[in-house]
Amino acid sequence: MKGKKLTILSLLFLLTGSILYFQFMYLKPVESQELEDGTKVKFRTSENTIEVYQDESWSSMFVKGVNLGATVPGHYPGALAIEDGDYHRWFKKIQDMGVNTIRIYTIHEPEFYEALVQFNQKHPDNPLYFMQGVWTPVNELNEQEDAMNDKVTKQFKEELKRAVGAVYGDITIPERDGKASGDYTANAGQYLLAWHIGTEWAPTIVENTNEKHKEAPAVKGDHFQTTKDAEAYEKWLAELLEYTAKLEEEKGWQHPMTFTNWVTTDPLEHPKEPLINEDLVGVDATNIKTKNWEAGYFASYHAYPYYPDFFRYSEKYQDVKNDEGKADSYKGYLRELKDYHDGMPIMITEFGVPSSLGNAHKGALGRDQGGHTEQEQGDINAELLRHIHEEGYAGAALFTWQDEWFKKTWNTMPFENKNSRAYWYNYLSNEMSFGVLGMYPGKEEAIEIDGSREDWQELNEEEVQKQELNADGWDSLWITHDEGYVYINARLQEDFNPEEDNLFLGVDTLSGGVTKGDILPKGELDKGLETLIRLGRKEESEVLIASDYDYHNRLYGNQIGEAETKNETDTFTPWRLAVSLKLEPPNANYSLPFEEVSVGKLPRGTAGDFQDKNYQSQALWQTKGNIVEAKIPWALLGFSDPSSQMVVSYENHDKESSELKSKKAEGIRLVPWMEKNGSETQLSWKESTTPHPVSELPKYEWESWTEVDYVERKKQSYYDMQEAFQAINKVKQ
C-alpha cells in the first residue's frame, strides 16, 4: 500500500512538473518592438519619460511602483521565506492598488518569477511589470572601502550574471548562505521594465574610490560610456551597466537601466545640511551616456521627506509652495533634482513614511519618520506621490509593500536584541511599519480592543491567565500576549469613568525599581516597579518608566542639557525616544540641539473589525461599563526580546557602545490600584500589610518562541494610495 501511495505521489509530482514546463515553455508573448538584429524592446527611455510599446506604437507611461521585500515576519531577508501563495495573493492586491510595476532589490527564489509569469499570463491586458534590483556585495565593499577593488567588482559581476539568469529562467543557482537558490525555469524577461543595480552608497566609500582612482580611464563600452567629467565611482558603475547590457544582448533583449542613488550622494549642493557626510560627495548619473542601447538609461533616487536634515533647515526652497500654499522643501528638492537631470528620465524609487508609535526623525510639515496613524501615513504618502508626478518625474515606487519585522531603527537598537528582532513586533521601531500591507502580531485579529470580554472567551483556555484580585475596586484580571503586545482585560467592581477616575497597573519584571512615592498607593512595596500603566483621561493615559530604570536618560543624559532630566529615585517619567543627537562643530557644519519625542501615550478607542479599512490599529485601550481592555507594546514594558523573556537590565551600558545590557525577566507581575474622583480616594489592597507583598502576586509567564504567528491586512494607507495611483492616468501625456 505504501509503495502504491509513493507511486501516485511521484506521478502527481511529474504531472505538476510537466504542466509548469509547458506553461513556461509556451508563453503567450508580450507585444514588443523588434530591432533589425532581432533584439526585442518593450520599454525605452525618451527625453524625460519611460515609453512602452503597445498597439504597434510607443507611448509614454508613468511608472506606478511599489517596492517588495524578500521576507515575512519571523525571518530575516536571507531566509527568503515568501511562498508561492503569498506572491499570488499579493500580486492581485498590488494590481488592485493601481500599481503597474514591482521593484525587487535582489534575486528572489524561483517562486517569484514563476508566480509573476503565471499571474501575467492570466492578465495579459493588464500585466504587472517589475524592476530587477541587484544587491551590491556590501560586506566586501565595506571591508575594502574601494568600489574599484577587484574582489568587489568580481563579486558584483557574478551577482549580475546570476540575476540575468534568474530573470530569463535559464540558471540553476546553488545554495548559498542568505541568498536565493534553485532551478530558475520561468522566463520573466518580457515583463522586466528595467535593471536597477546597486544600493545606497556610503559617501566615504565614494570619496575614497574617487581619490584612489583619479587616473582611472574613461569607460568606452559598446553601450555605456562616461563623459570627461566622470569620477571613478561613476566609471565603475558604467562598467557594471555595460556588463549587464552585454548579458542582456545574449538573451535577445534590451531593457532600460539605472543604478540606485539617494539624497546623500546626489549631485546637488545643500549648504544648510548640518551633517558633513550627508553632503560630502555626489554620484552623478548625467556623467554616464548610452551608445547603441535603444532601451536607454535613467536616473533613480531614494528620497524621503525627513532626511537629511536640510529638508528642515534649508531656505533655498521657500519659494516652492504646495497646494495649501505652504513652502514645501520636498517639492522644492524634487524640482531642483529634476532640473539637474533635464533631458533624461528620473524616478523616485523609494519614498514614504511609516505608521508607528515610534518616531526616528522629524521632518518638515509633519512628515516625520514615524509617529503616524495608518490614515496619516496614507495622506502623506499620497501627497508625496502627487508631488513626484507633478514635478515631471518618469515614475515613483512607494516604500514599501509589506511591513518588515527584521528592520532596525537607530534609536531603538540600543534596547533590542539584534539576533531576534524578526521574532517580535516592536511598535516603537518605525522601520518595521513602512508597509501598506500590515503584518500584525498573531492575536490582533482575534482580540478586538473594544472594552469587552466576548472575544477573550473564544481563546484557548491555556492562552489566558486568569487572576482573581484581592484589591479594592477590582474583581479579576485576564492576561495574554502575542508577538507585539501584552493584552490585559480587567473586570472592576464598579463602572469605570475615565474622565474622573484613574486606573493604574504597576509592572514588575526585575529586582529593583520604584517601591514608594506619591503616585503609588500609601505605604511601600516589597518589590519595585519598572514601568507603570495609567489609564484615564486622554492626556493622562500612558506608560511611564521608573526614573532610575529610564534608559533614555541613561543613554542620552549628557546630551539632554536643559531638557527635563529626572535623576531622583521613586518617581516615574514619561517614555521618550531620541530623534536627533546633539551636533557641534567640528563634527558637524553647525550646532543643533538634542531632540526627543514622547512615545508612551496610549490612545483610547474602539479598534473595530480587523478587516475593515477603518480599523484602528493604534487603539490601545478601551473601557465599557466595568470592563477595561488594553494592549501594551512589549517595548514600553522594557522588553528587549520578549521571544526569549529578555528585558533591559539596570546595569550601566558600555560607554563605548550604545547597547544596553539585558537579562531574563522574572515574569510579569501586575500591581493594580485606582484613584476615584481625581485623587480624593485611593483604593488599594484590602490587606493593610506594609510593605505590600508584590512578591506574592501571581506572575504572568510564557514560553520562548522562534516561530511567529501573524495576520495580514491592507492598512488604511493602502486605500489612500489606491486612490492616488488611480488618479494618475495610465498613459502619461
pLDDT digits (tens, 9 = 90+) for 608-618: 999 999 999 99
Confidence of residue 655 (pLDDT cuts 50, 70, 90): low
Compute the average pLDDT of residues 626-640: 98
Nearest alpha carbon to residue 54 among 124, 116, 113: 124
> Does 523 have pLDDT greater than 50?
yes
CA distance linking residue 628 with residue 32, whole number of Å? 62
Average pLDDT, the chain: 92
**290 beta partners:** 224
Give me the pLDDT at residue 78, please. 87
Name, in order, each residue with C-beta under 8 angstroms of 704's C-beta and a sequence gap of 6 or more.
643, 644, 645
> Does 730 have pLDDT greater than 50?
no
**488 beta partners:** 479, 630
Question: 54-68, 211-225, 673-687: which has the minimum mean pLDDT?
Answer: 673-687
Give me the pLDDT at residue 721, please. 98
Helices (H), 97-172: 110-122, 138-144, 150-167
CA distance linking residue 290 with residue 324, whole number of Å? 41
Query: Which tens digits make up the pLDDT trace of 139-170?
Result: 999 999 999 999 999 999 999 999 999 999 99
Sheet containing strand 485-492, strands side by side: 465-468, 474-481, 485-492, 627-633, 621-624
CA distance linking residue 239 with residue 230, whole number of Å? 12
Name, in order, each residue with C-beta under 8 angstroms of 194's C-beta and a sequence gap of 6 or more.
43, 50, 131, 132, 255, 256, 257, 258, 298
Query: Which tens digits make up the pLDDT trace of 339-398?
Result: 999 999 999 999 999 999 999 999 999 999 999 999 999 999 999 999 999 999 999 999
Give me the pLDDT at residue 10, please. 45
Give me the pLDDT at residue 13, please. 44
Confidence of residue 652 (pLDDT cuts 50, 70, 90): confident
Compute the average pLDDT of residues 451-473: 93
> Does 269 have pLDDT greater than 50?
yes
Give me the pLDDT at residue 690, please. 76
Nearest alpha carbon to residue 166 among 149, 150, 151, 180: 180
CA distance linking residue 50 with residue 52, whole number of Å? 7
> Does 450 have pLDDT greater than 50?
yes
Give the type of residue at 651: E
Q: How far is CA 728 from the centre of its chain?
A: 25
Nearest alpha carbon to residue 206 among 158, 262, 273, 151: 262
CB-CB contact of 465 with 473 (8 Å): no
| Terminal-residue alpha carbon distance, the chain | 66
Give me the pLDDT at residue 179, please. 93
Q: What Rg, from alpha-carbon coordinates, does the chain have?
A: 28
Length of the chain: 733
> Does 636 have pLDDT greater than 80?
yes
> Does 2 have pLDDT greater than 80?
no
Give me the pLDDT at residue 483, please. 98
How many CB atoms neighbour CB 22 within 10 A? 9
Give the type of residue at 365: L
Residue 608, Ramachandran bin (φ over 0: left; ψ between -120 and 50: alpha; else beta) = left
CA distance linking residue 29 with residue 214, whole number of Å? 47
CA distance linking residue 305 with residue 298, whole number of Å? 22
Confidence of residue 5 (pLDDT cuts 50, 70, 90): very low
**656 or 502, higher pLDDT:** 502
Domain locations in the chain as residue ranges? 39-438+712-727, 443-707
Helix (H, G, I), strand (E, B) or coil at 297: strand
Query: Which tens digits make up the pLDDT trace of 297-349?
Result: 999 999 999 999 999 999 999 999 999 999 999 999 999 999 999 999 999 99
Helix (H, G, I), strand (E, B) or coil at 430: helix
Give me the pLDDT at residue 27, please. 77
Compute the average pLDDT of residues 663-677: 92
CA distance linking residue 102 with residue 397, whole number of Å? 8
Give me the pLDDT at residue 234, please. 98
Confidence of residue 12 (pLDDT cuts 50, 70, 90): very low
Question: 23-27, 395-399, 696-700: which has the minimum mean pLDDT?
Answer: 23-27
- Measuring CA to CA, how many Å separate 67 from each of 105, 106, 429, 606? 8, 11, 20, 32
CA distance linking residue 53 with residue 71, whole number of Å? 33
CB-CB contact of 505 with 670 (8 Å): yes
- Measuring CA to CA, how many Å separate 659 from each of 485, 552, 645? 23, 12, 18
Q: Is the dihedral of CA 413, 419, 424, 425 positive or negative?
A: positive
Give me the pLDDT at residue 517, please. 84
Q: Under CATH, to which class is 39-438+712-727 assigned?
A: alpha beta
Q: Is the dihedral of CA 5, 11, 15, 21 positive or negative?
A: positive
> Does 658 have pLDDT greater than 90?
no
Query: Which tens digits make up the pLDDT trace of 208-258?
Result: 999 999 999 999 999 999 999 999 999 999 999 999 999 999 999 999 999
CA distance linking residue 309 with residue 368, whole number of Å? 11
**Phi, psi of 372, rounded to the nearest 5 degrees:** -115, 145
Give the type of residue at 283: V
**255 or 178, higher pLDDT:** 255
CA distance linking residue 440 with residue 447, whole number of Å? 12
Compute the average pLDDT of residues 111-115: 98
Question: 27-31, 94-98, 418-422, 664-668: which has the minimum mean pLDDT?
Answer: 27-31
Confidence of residue 522 (pLDDT cuts 50, 70, 90): confident
> Does 105 have pLDDT greater than 60?
yes
